[in-house]
Homo-oligomer: A and B are copies of this chain.
Amino acid sequence: MKVMIDLCVVPVGVGVSVSEYIAECQRILRKAGLKTNLHAYGTNIEGEWDSVFAAVKQCHETIHQMGAPRITTTIKLGTRTDRAQTMEDKITSVEEKL
């Protein structure tokens, strides 16, 4: 099952600057071979369900290993059986109506 998710990981208890943790997640997602797009409030990720969630788990494990005692994450995730749809398809579908 293909899934598209939007991942926003927030390490808590390490101060206000969290970009080094987010950068580490980007490396994990790329090593996993997942298609990603970083935006200002999260990262779009596209792939097979199991690969995507294995990478999300690895992000949590790694951020804890880097020293963050607590993590709160928000995920939006979409699946559909009616047709295949990429991240670009979704954006194009809106933009061609503007």
Contact = CB atoms under 8 A, between A and B. Distances in A.
Contact of A23 (B73, B76, B94): B94
Query: How many identical subunits does the complex contain?
Result: 4
How many interface residues does chain A have, given as a range? 35 or more
Contact of A76 (B70, B74, B81, B97): B74
A10 B72 CA distance: 8
Prevailing SS type, chain A contact patch: mixed
Contacts of A12: 10, 12, 16, 18
A76 B26 contact: no
10 contacts: A1-B60, A6-B40, A6-B42, A10-B72, A12-B12, A23-B94, A23-B97, A70-B81, A70-B82, A74-B75
